[in-house]
Structure 1
Amino acid sequence: MAAAKPSLGRVLPGSSILFLCDMQEKFRHVAYFPQIVSVAARMLKVARLLEVPTVLTEQYPQGLGPTVPELGAAGLQPLPKTCFSMVPVARQELDARPQLRSVLLCGIETQACILNTTLDLLDRGLQVHVVVDACSSRSQVDRLVALARMRQSGAFLSTSEGLILQLVGDSAHPQFKEIQKIIKEPAPDSGLLGLFQGQNPLLR
């Protein structure tokens, strides 16, 4: 019997959804917060150009405040939650899209809502692409171990630009010139080199 073909983790606009997790005022102290929000804003701009649906959540907004304006999420209705996963409040969005295959995940904190959202999505049989330059934690140890944990569980660790270019697919795409403007400048440094350098055993 032939071995099962491994999942390649390809992403297509028609079968993908963008999840934006809890980028709120009271989380500004999270490491690399401005950079994380900047990269997530890029992902949102591209999602809008390619008509990729988007889900935005806020963790206990009464206490932790609204989504920061820098994300550029005007027009999105945030889903309030208390659970450390986006999936319970996003279930209706997921169930309404039987063609859905891939979830692109950005936000904070990596060891909490990002990790638990990833596990819940994997449990539903969906591919999860964690946008590593758009996720962070207060503790960089928590961030690193959570990334390793998600990878061990079957999630894909991807950069924003890598995912954007997969989504657009072809320089002949009618939206490519607009997308090219978005990625013309490299994504801001969010401390990833320090996590990945030195053959880190957690990410082998």
Structure 2
Amino acid sequence: MLLDAKHSHLVVVDLQERLMPAIHDGESVLRNARILLAAAARLGVPVTVTEQYPKGLGNTVQPVQEALPPEAVILAKTAFSAARDARIAERVTTLRSAGRDQLVVCGTEAHICVLQSALEFRRMGIEVFVAADAVSSRSPQSVAAACARLLHAGCHWVTTEMVAFEWMGEAATDDFRALAPLFR
């Protein structure tokens, strides 16, 4: 199954000020999250950003905030799984009812909040795509364990380029011309 921008919803999990310095390959995660956000903004894909206990971990990092489309929604949570937060679950469910049944997930930490969110949204019957190069944890071993578990549970392990190019669908478009420089 290919991703379709008209059926997708991007969820950015916990890319926060006090967490990112400890994340393995954090700069790459931020770069790829920003590419996903640019593609989402260009192609009309709704964006939801979560913040795990922002009082303790800070807000979403500035580079991500700067890349957010104006319609993006930032929601704080204390549950590790975004699906357990009533406001986030309601937003995902509302967008799903409107045909947005493909959830693209990026963020941190792969083995905690990303994993729990993806598993629970998958259990709800939503098709979940985790952007492998836009997720990480404090250790690479945790990312590998999360990958194995998510794949076993039926989630899709994809890359930022896979997401963006599937959303675009073809090269002979203004969208492709606008987004192609992000991949050079």
TM-score (norm 2): 0.91
Instruction: State which structure, 1 or 2, has the greater radius of gyration over its C-alpha atoms.
Output: 1
How far off is 1:118 after superposition?
Answer: 0.7
Match 2:77 to one of 58, 78, 81 = 81
How far off is 1:60 after superposition?
Answer: 0.3
Deviations 1:79-134 (A, max 9, x none): 00010111223122122221122111100000000100111111111111110000
- What is residue 137 of structure 1 aligned with on the other side? 137
Kept after mapping to 1: 8 A contact 2:8/2:103: yes
- What is residue 197 of structure 1 aligned with on the other side? none
1:94 has 2:87 as partner: no
- Can you give the 5+ residue segments of structure 1 that lack an aligned partner in the other structure? 1-7, 186-204
- Secondary structure class of the residue paired with 1:93: helix
How far off is 1:73 after superposition?
Answer: 4.1
Higher percent of residues as helix: 2
1:1-40 aligned within 5 A: 8=1, 10-27=2-19, 28-40=21-33
Aligned partners of 2:28 and 2:55: how far apart in 1?
Answer: 25
Residue-pair matches, total: 176
- Can you give the 5+ residue segments of structure 2 that lack an aligned partner in the other structure? none
- Quickly say closer, same or farther: Cα 1:73–1:79, change in 2 above 3 A: farther
TM-score (norm 1): 0.83
Runs of 4+ in 1 over 2 A off after TM superposition: 72-77
- Secondary structure class of the residue paired with 2:135: strand
